[in-house]
Amino acid sequence: MKKTQQKIETNPLSILRQAIRGVTPDIAVKARRVGKALAIRWLLAASRKRPGRNMAFKLSSELLDAAKGSGDAIRKKEETHKMAEANRDFAHFR
């Protein structure tokens, strides 16, 4: 978090909250906390895929991108929303 705070002048916890809020799926999941856990899982997976020196650097970069509304975690959220939108028509068959 210190590296993130050195890059920007705001509180790193607010960046973390903003990133998690941005990545949390808007579609209905079983419980709200499941959506937050899913967002954290997507952030960690996206940061592991990033090229870079170490995990702290990759995670801070992914958090900054997610707070800005870009990055692989945001892309994963959008893909999930597209799939849910496409499958909504078939929901009554289940």
**Which CATH number characterizes residue 19's domain?**
1.10.455.10
pLDDT tens string, the chain, 94 residues long: the values are 565 555 667 788 888 888 888 888 776 655 556 778 888 899 999 999 999 889 999 998 889 999 888 989 999 988 888 888 887 776 554 4
**What is the pLDDT, as a whole number, of residue 94?**
43
Domain count, the chain: 1
Q: Are 85 and 91 in contact (CB under 8 A)?
A: no
Domain residues for the domain of 40 are: 2-93
Q: Are 43 and 23 in contact (CB under 8 A)?
A: yes
Closest CA to 72 of 19, 32, 15: 19
- The pTM of this model reads 0.68
